[in-house]
Structure 1
């Protein structure tokens, strides 16, 4: 009898958090019994367990199979090959002609047709872009069920007056990781202790995607398939409203926009703010009716256009951010009492309902606003002193192509120059320059993309304050106040290009390719992986190739026939080089026309890097992920990511390079620190950025001094300040994310491929290396007036001026390279990333000694 009692107790306890559909839905709503409930398909009630992504997709497909209101399509796949699905929900007769509905909506948006008072409003409902903020995706189960099966008046009007695009999981890989974590650490009697394992994920957290990127910062940058698929649908549909459901700390309540009024992007129209406020009244009303705590207009900025709630605002839509206090598991004790997972899900469901009500009430205003938004673009362009931007990437067609592809995905047109032009004594060659006119429908987005704003009404930022894409790609660019003399192609650039044909290679004394192209490191990697012997030219040379003199800059890669170990080396070079748009030049003789000969000591061997990337709790998961992503995608290398706790057990001699991303490494064991010192002295190359650079300096591997956050903050006077000034002071002392100009030593091996002395650097911390007394150690230094874009207080700017951006020197037979900042920030900082890849291939050839 006792055993039966225990079994019943445990069985009941396991459902302590389970809530039936009646908990989520008003009992006045009736549902079509032929449409399956979440529980009937998943085997549990919503909120009892965290839904896995495969279960989420399975249920959505079940709904589409049973309801005439829903179409489902796969719009892409994640890095881990999970399907990205989107549900299109509308009245059955409208759904049968959905492509005509979409085209009619776009014609209206673009002003080709007047606003139809009977036209549907388009909503894009997106959930859980952060994987460990799961209440959104779990609420999506209920939202989709309601839209498929409900018979109430609201849903009938929704089907008549709207088209709903429902994206149930913006980050499937992260959601899958977190569901596994929360479910596998859930007991039969769930623990509400905030310190328990369930509520504290291991490194890295599931907030991020496969490569540990924050996908909510990727709406503009489009580095990942999840973002590219989402933006393709957004631009194809041009929704009137986009919702973005998030979570925040457990001890908070509920937030909905508008956020802090002074922190909106200047290119967001005031009417957008007014509509957001009108919609917010509905959120307040429904949360009031359920006695929920909430707040608005006192947190979160709407400035960075690469976020999910801001990107729509500069694209003619109204983006709305929701933030629910998170249970970070199934139940957690908070300052507001016991927070259960179903409670968080229901709050998200409630604001879905209030969004529906708001869109129905404001449908005609939203439609009219969207058409006017794009009509105003022409008028704003006519008034703007700037007419457009020239962008150029001499000698690097691939980097320019990546940039143009990004513009194209955002429906921004760029036109090739047909004749070269000189502006302010700067020549822009026709073969590598494009013109981006402001007079096009994406006027506001273009202004945001190219913004170099440095002065702001509110100097406190939730995210970055500068992201100028032309600087990130290290493009030469120039705003034009006149298009006189600028001749461009009639057709905008398009990614639809023909596949390049493989060119057969004849046997020559040697082959060579230049290092300028962004794909050159990946080409070299593939050659080395296939057993090809290669050399890097540490000085210039000129040779005869194809009957013409050809000058090769330092950094060019030479493949001499005489040192190859493979009999089929020429076929390997031919096959590998065919994969890249990089010319392979045949060289007839080792005797050059000018410069070093091909047997010179200045033609140094290049070896395949074997990279140890330090991970684990001391390291920033974002920066480790960004380095991993860059190595994988752009260099073709698989780093060994080894967590700090395991470093003592690793044979460092297996690796040529050790990389420290930003982090706090002071607590690494003495044994490892000693091993690291010996490894560098014996020939290893170590890279450190931000906190990683500080660690190397503290261990005297890097001979450099630096300024910390406290050092930088000491320059700010607090005289006369009161308690209420704390946030203002913190905002001034912080560098949330701004762009600075550095001056690069173009003769240094780490600068190979760069074509101009100025290199824009992204900075989001106040850590700063100081310039070395030895000029040969300073690879890049900040200029005298370094700020290019974004907010940084004058006190910080003056300290950064002439500081050290990149330092490198010998350590015994090895070398150390350190950077004040992150060279691969968010995967789109294409300029400084080449410093990092150069350190991998050429770091062993650094000859400068520390002073």
Structure 2
């Protein structure tokens, strides 16, 4: 009896999750026996367990070793140093000279050679950019095996007429986290209960990468190594079709593009949509054959060009989004019945096949479309009233270089000005100013990067409606209607240009560096970490530096020789400053010719921040991750990320700063709230933005009023609306993501490094601080006509106008800083991020009563 029970138990276990290759492939497909199957390498059938990233890579390397159709290369590494691999798959003869094939393809793309009957199409197959949407990456095992080993007519034609670039995991760190979660919470008999632990990850969830960023929003912004490696391959190959395999909620079925017709980016050609529809008929055909439920032309949009399915559209390719209802583990009960992991994998596999069929059938159309796309760029640029853009970042070459690096990675040229120019009464110095002409093959992408569009055919957005990069970097920029008389360098800017070496620093009375450069906070951090004593000038002064008079603005960091405790402090200063392209210079005397002297109380001590960043379920993992990333990458600080449930056990006196990102913190314990008040009163600096600011206001630590989402929504009349108007009203009430202008008090310590009163901010919520009536508390306020780019209904714009953007005031001996918006949105909002780092280093010197 016991043996029978064990046998039945094993049969039940095997029946849930374990599906043989015959489940995924038609029986008439023959496979090369020399090429290993997934189960022969992994030790289990695809879908029985969630594949770990290391197993995925190992199997792909095995395929490359055993199949002459496959090459594999490592194209980069993630933050956690997992390899980013790319398989190149085509017929063996072509694979032998693949770089010449690539060059020939680029020649056709650029119109330098004709499309012929033999010209291969190029496909970029990308899987699971969201780590907890794993059916894509698990399907990639089967796709790669099929392409490497199948011996049927379809694969022979495919290898003959195409080059396939297969990226099996767009987010290895996230995929690894989710595989560990799903596998470690899987029982021998998996639970289908949606409420069980396996289907509900702890915070932070593994949709994101190492720093909790959504990599599917980083295709344009390129803040992470995964994105930079991917775009380098995309631009090197210029594929005709790019696939982007995702998952959605378990109660959904299957989605493929085209999406909602009215929500495409206006820069995307109509022919792109027509080709997408043509390809869609192949998806429908194969899913119909297998009786799969699906939908199209609803729910998703193709507007933000920084997503995986839209970036190709603005680059001459056809981007296709697939969304599969997720089992979020191994099996889950849904409104459509029991959803098993292998079922989700097979749907993704089927639409790989339909994509292959569509590309084979429409190969020459796709190649011709791509060639025409770039030919048309010259015509569009010639007709455009704008001929290009002049951009500048006075006194901050590092911030400008980050911006130019993004352009370069997207194959966009920018040329340094050799003579100053004036555009619409605004002067642009030759130093730190560049010209970006529109007459380039990337015409559409340049337009997309600089667009300030505010009115749209459809005002409902799945993602952001504004992302103007020049605003994000707080650059001064103007469009040019004519480039006549503009003097620029012949060679475009390049990150590979050699940098000049700084001269060694010799003994002086003091040393100083200005605060303008984007790397200044990181330089200061490294000096403080190594025991170098520093002061910040809260007032401006003029000092003598080697017979040169230097006018130094507030925010200048001064390192006096007389207060140093390390004997080798000058060697440390030389070593650290050599890492940065920042001018560190000597000052000859403590007596200045103008302004405060170096012994003044206006040269205040600067201490190394010890940051507690509140995390856990109440907090947005995206915004906590963005703060973590900014502190780690750009400031050189490692914050202590402490989950809200553990705050009661923490001694707050170990920290100088506490940071609350977007979140709902009302459920924090009364004892912690009391400790927080005491800690701030004793001299701590607390920062809160969006929900974090609301929490501080609710606890009356922040002395400010605010408008909540409900308050903002109340401005919209609902009179006469019908049930069918719900989505329309919700779209108007929402701010999906738009750019607003604020006016900054440039005399305030939190605005040190800013050179103009206008500071663009990114807003993706309707939370709004109100201006303080107290003097000196308003660091930045929204301007009277604040909308710069993106959609926001006029009712919301009217309420935001003249509202409070950034407030700071004293609280006992401490300081409270609050912001209506996220200062480090998606890692690319370089302008407002300096407000945050200023709060870290200078927040303790803010003196302003809110009473």
Q: Please classify the TM superposition score into its range, dividing by the shorter chain length.
A: over 0.9
Give the whole-Å Cα distance in 2 for the aligned partners of 1:6 and 1:824: 58
Counterpart residue number, 1:298 = 298
Deviates more, 1:424-433 or 1:654-663: 424-433
The answer for the alignment partner of 2:373 in structure 1 is 373
Partner of 1:814: 814
- Give the CA deviation at 1:502: 4.2
CA RMSD of aligned residues (A): 0.6
- Residue 434 of structure 1 is matched in structure 2 by 434
1:114 deviation in Å?
1.5
Structure 1 distance, partners of 2:489, 2:579, is 28
Aligned length: 850
Deviation at 1:48, TM superposition (A): 0.2
**Pairing 1:177-326 to 2, within 5 Å after superposition:** 177-326=177-326
Q: CA deviation at 1:74?
A: 0.1
1:591-639 deviation line (CA, Å, top 9, x unaligned): 0010000000000000000000000000000000000000000000000
User: Quick one: distance in 2 between partners of 1:574 and 1:326?
Assistant: 55
CA contact (8 A) 2:399 2:518 kept: yes
What is the DSSP-based 3-state SS (H/G/I as helix, E as strand, rest coil) of the residue aligned with 2:154? helix
Contact 1:390 1:479 (C-alpha < 8 Å) held by counterparts: yes
1:745-775 Cα offsets, whole Å, 9 max, x none, are: 0000000000000000000000000000023
Aligned position for 1:12: 11
Aligned residue runs from structure 1 range 60-71, under 5 A? 60-71=60-71
Matches within 5 A, 1:485-634: 485-634=485-634
Aligned-residue offset at 1:431:
0.9
**Could you tell me how far apart the structure 2 residues matched to 1:383 and 1:316 are?**
19
Counterparts of 1:470-489 in structure 2, within 5 Å, are: 470-489=470-489
CA contact (8 A) 2:686 2:816 kept: yes
Residues 793-848 of structure 1 show CA distances to partners (whole Å, capped at 9, x for unaligned) of 00000000000000000000000000000000000000000000000000000001
1:658 match: 658
TM-fit CA distance, 1:352? 0.1
Residue of structure 1 in register with 2:830 after alignment: 830
Give 1:497 deviation, angstroms.
Answer: 1.9
CA–CA distance in structure 1, aligned partners of residues 404 and 196 of structure 2: 48
**Distance of 2:326 and 2:481 partners within structure 1:** 50
Structure 1 contact 502–575 (Cα < 8 Å) conserved: no
Alpha carbons 1:503, 1:574 under 8 Å: kept = no
Checking the alignment, whether the CA contact within 8 Å between 1:502 and 1:574 is kept in structure 2 is: no
Give, in whole Å, the separation in 1 of the partners of 2:683 and 2:651. 14
User: Aligned-pair distance for 1:547?
Assistant: 1.1
SS in 2 for 1:810: strand
Query: Is structure 2 residue 629 aligned with structure 1 residue 647?
Result: no
**Which residue is 1:839 aligned to?**
839
Match of 2:735 in 1: 735
Within 5 Å, give how 1:11-410 maps onto structure 2. Answer: 11-15=10-14, 16-410=16-410
- Does structure 1 retain, via aligned residues, the 8 Å contact 2:534–2:557? yes
Inter-partner Cα distance in structure 2 for 1:68 and 1:175: 28
Quote the Cα distance in structure 2 between the aligned partners of 1:619 and 1:817: 18
Equivalences for 1:647-686 in 2 at 5 Å? Answer: 647-686=647-686
CA contact (8 A) 1:767 1:820 kept: yes
Shift of 1:462: 0.2
Question: In structure 2, what is the Cα distance between the partners aligned to 1:455 and 1:117?
Answer: 43
Alpha-carbon distance in structure 2 between the residues aligned to 1:347 and 1:546: 72
SS of 1:430 mapped into structure 2: coil
Distance 2:410 2:531 in 1: 41
Q: Which residue of 2 aligns with 1:701?
A: 701
What is the CA–CA distance in structure 2 between the aligned matches of 1:551 and 1:315, rounded to whole Å? 47
Please list the CA deviations of residues 494-527 of structure 1 after superposition, one character each: whole Å capped at 9, or x if unmatched: 1112244242111000000000000000000000
Does the CA contact (< 8 Å) of 2:377 and 2:442 recur in 1?
Answer: yes
Q: Which moved more, 1:742-751 or 1:487-496?
A: 487-496
Q: Is the 8 A contact 2:403 2:473 kept in 1?
A: yes
Q: Which runs of 5+ in 2 are unaligned?
A: none
- The 8 Å contact of residues 90 and 162 in structure 1, kept in 2 or not, is answered as yes
The Cα shift of 1:298 comes to 1.1
SS of corresponding position for 1:282: helix
Q: CA–CA distance in 2 between the matches of 1:500 and 1:156?
A: 54
Equivalent pair of 2:775/2:848 in contact (CA under 8 Å): no
- Equivalent-residue separation in structure 1 for 2:357 and 2:65 (angstroms): 27
CA distance in 1 between counterparts of 2:216 and 2:666 reads 31
1:124 aligned counterpart, secondary structure = strand
- Find the aligned partners of 1:113 and 1:837 in 2 and give their Cα distance: 52
Query: How big is the shift at 1:323?
Result: 0.1
Tell me, what secondary structure is at the counterpart of 1:832? helix
Aligned partners of 1:423, 1:45: CA distance in 2, in Å? 64
Aligned-residue offset at 1:423: 1.4
Q: Which residue of 2 aligns with 1:722?
A: 722
1:7 Cα deviation from its structure 2 partner: 2.9
C-alpha deviation, 1:570, in angstroms: 0.5
Please state how far the C-alpha of 1:11 moved relative to its aligned partner: 2.5
TM-fit CA distance, 1:299? 1.3
Provide the rounded CA distance (Å) in 1 between the counterparts of 2:667 and 2:611. 22
- CA distance in structure 2 between the partners assigned to 1:608 and 1:213 by the alignment: 27
Structure 1: give runs of 5+ residues left out of the alignment: none
Would you identify which runs of 4 or more consecutive aligned residues in structure 1 move more than 6 Å?
A: none
Which whole-Å CA distance do the structure 1 matches of 2:70 and 2:801 have between them? Answer: 58
| Higher mean C-alpha deviation, range 433-442 or range 423-432 | 423-432
Matches within 5 A, 1:748-759: 748-759=748-759
SS in 1 for 2:590: coil
Secondary structure, aligned partner of 2:353: helix
Q: Is the 8 A contact 1:218 1:224 kept in 2?
A: yes
Greater mean alpha carbon deviation, residues 10-19 or residues 477-486: 10-19
- The one-character-per-residue Cα deviations of 1:311-342 (angstroms, maximum 9, x if unpaired) are 00000000000000000000000000000000
Q: Is the 8 A contact 2:505 2:585 kept in 1?
A: no
- State the alpha-carbon separation in 1 of the partners of residues 757 and 501 from structure 2: 35
Q: Deviations over 1:432-477 (max 9, x none)?
A: 1000000000000000000000000000000000000000000000
Q: For residues 114 and 338 of structure 1, what CA distance do their matches in structure 2 show?
A: 51
Following superposition, the deviation at residue 484 of structure 1 comes to 1.8
Instruction: Tell me if structure 1 keeps the 8 A contact 2:763–2:822.
Output: yes
Q: Deviations over 1:4-38 (max 9, x none)?
A: 33432333333222100000000010000110000
1:238-262: CA deviations, max 9, x gaps? 0000000000000000000000000
Q: Residues of 1 paired with 2:4 and 2:126: CA distance?
A: 44
Q: Distance in 2 between matches of 1:814 and 1:8?
A: 68
Structure 1 equivalent of residue 799 of structure 2: 799
Which residue does the alignment assign to 2:412? Answer: 412
SS in structure 1 of the partner of residue 806 of structure 2: strand
Contact 1:545-1:586 at 8 Å conserved across structures: yes
In structure 2, C-alpha distance between the alignment counterparts of 1:408 and 1:843, rounded to whole Å:
36
Within 2, Cα distance between the matches of 1:373 and 1:546? Answer: 57
Report Cα offsets for 1:678-718 as digits up to 9, x if no partner: 00000000000000000000000000000000000000001
In the TM superposition, residue 302 of structure 1 has moved relative to its aligned partner by 0.2
| Offset from partner CA, 1:349-371 (integer Å, 9 cap, x none) | 00000000000000000000000
Do 1:809 and 1:816's aligned partners in 2 also have CA atoms closer than 8 Å?
A: yes
Normalising by the residue count of structure 1, what TM-score does the alignment of the two structures yield? 1.00
Query: Is contact 1:13-1:188 (8 Å) kept?
Result: no
Following the alignment from structure 1 to structure 2, what is the Cα–Cα distance between the partners of residues 17 and 619? 34
